[in-house]
Amino acid sequence: MTNHLDALRDIVGAANIATGSDCDKWNHDWMGDYHFSPLAVVRPANTDEVSRVMQLAHEVGLPVVPVSGNTGLAGGTYADGAVMLSLDRMNTIREIRAESRIAIVEAGVILYALSTAAQDHGLLFPMTFGARGSAMIGGILSTNAGGSNVLRYGNTRDLCMGVEVVLADGRVMDLMSELHKDNSGLNLRNLVIGAEGTLGIITAAVMKLAPQPLAYATAMLAVPHLSDAVGLLNQLQKITGGAVSAFEYMPKSYISRYLATIAGAKPPFEGSHDVNILVEVGATAPRDATPQDDGSVPIVSLLETELARMLEIGTLRDAVIAQNDAQRAEMWARREAAAEVTSAQQPMINNDVCVGIDKVETFLTTAIARIQAIDPEATDTCVSHLGDGNVHYIIFPSSADPELRDKLVETVEDVVQSLGGSFSAEHGIGLSKLPSMRRRKDPVALDVMRAIKAALDPKGILNPGKVIPR
């Protein structure tokens, strides 16, 4: 093994390989659910060095686990005895082409850095979620991350035009297309996106940019029932011409936990409501964003008028519209504190599921009934990207008993499957959801996945044991 480490040092330089206690920064996942001891952490500076590392690993049979910002929630970077390949030094934004609305970036670029660079050109990289200050492009591509703006802009796969990928044997696959149309064979780009590094290591990408909204209309809304929210969303999409970018649900149980957990937290309304919705509309047309003589902003006025009408007819129970950037930030802080709020109580079970947007209420009411039939003392809460049906459903069981945990997770899967949903929406599979894959994924689909994995990584060295059940 010493010879292998020496060979890795020759490739990346002695200063860019960590072993022993120097790996402490990387020896656990973000949530602290997994702890491990990597053989080494290797930090290449460019694609050529990644290629040479993989050539060596393929030749001698070293397992390699790629890691970006290490903000995953499914154990996808577990690397006991493996070489962790960190992309953090490959953090160059190579080019932003404003006319074409694309950014060419390396895999180690932090999401916030790309967002800031795009803003300097009057553009937007619309992917956003709580970990944007540390998550990296390679990681969000590898998990096909979602976030709060999927409703308008799509998930990561929709925002990527091309990728550069180093394969298990070190060959570099150049798929760095800047084309909107390219029907030349199988879509290998979409194959590696979401594969969590099991088919290749993404080293660079061509990402789509969008016009930066000139003004936002952001509000907290309370509706009588969750089922009313779908009609509310559709109406707001209608009057804004499809400009709703976020539609986030927070139940009373979440708001209560938020107020109890976050110092200085403020409630969304003067009173308490069961169904709380954060909605944001982004205006890109000057006619909707240019302040009028009285100082009002047309998109905000439009939202105010429509919400006033809904309050009058009883569609809404309450509404608060952000009047400035500070109030908008306060509304978003409430939603983006979800990880801190839900992890404050242990034990907890974090389910990342997706159902049809008109079935979210059915899922929530059915799930808690079945859960409490098994564990009467269990409670739940959630936050939801309601506009795309993604529910981060949190169970607080009465004990940390692994058998109870498995039973409750399988119960959630039963409800999701009965509604035609998915047990994994945006967090990936990693290690955590391998049992779910065995139980729920179509057996033929699993066979195809195994065949693809065997073809691209015959020695099984790329992020072994993840995503695809043995």
- CA–CA distance, 466 with 470 (Å, rounded to integer): 9
pLDDT of residue 178: 96
Note the Cα 197 to chain centre separation in Å.
16
Domain definitions of the chain by residue range:
2-86, 93-211, 215-336, 345-432
- CA–CA distance, 433 with 353 (Å, rounded to integer): 11
Q: Which amino acid is at 130?
A: G
- Partner residues linked to 279 by β-bridges: 219, 247
Architecture of domain 345-432: 2-Layer Sandwich (3.30)
DSSP letter string, 174-209:
EE----S---SSS-HHHHHTTSTTSS-EEEEEEEE-
pLDDT of residue 416: 98
- Partner residues linked to 275 by β-bridges: 251
pLDDT of residue 33: 86
Tens-digit pLDDT profile for the chain (470 aa)?
678 999 999 999 999 999 999 999 999 988 888 999 999 999 999 999 999 999 999 999 999 999 998 888 888 999 999 999 999 999 999 999 999 999 999 999 999 999 999 999 999 999 988 888 999 999 999 999 998 999 999 999 999 999 999 999 999 999 999 999 999 999 999 999 999 999 999 999 999 999 999 999 999 999 999 999 999 999 999 999 999 999 999 999 999 999 999 999 999 999 999 999 999 999 999 999 999 999 999 999 999 999 999 999 999 999 999 999 999 999 999 999 999 999 999 999 999 999 999 999 999 999 999 999 999 999 999 999 999 999 999 999 999 999 999 999 999 999 999 999 999 999 999 999 999 999 999 999 999 999 999 999 999 999 999 999 98
Which helix or strand (DSSP H or E) is residue 92 part of?
Answer: none
Provide the 10 A C-beta neighbour count for residue 382: 23
State in words which class domain 2-86 has: alpha beta
Burial class from Cβ neighbours inside 10 Å (0-12, 13-18, 19+) for residue 318 reads middle
pLDDT of residue 69: 87
What is the fold of 93-211? Answer: 3.30.465
Counts of helices then strands in the chain (DSSP H, E): 17, 18
pLDDT of residue 129: 86
Question: Same CATH fold, 93-211 and 2-86?
Answer: no
Which CATH number applies to 215-336?
Answer: 3.30.70.2190
Residue 307 has which token pair? 């919400």
Residue 65 has which token pair? 């686990």
pLDDT of residue 1: 64
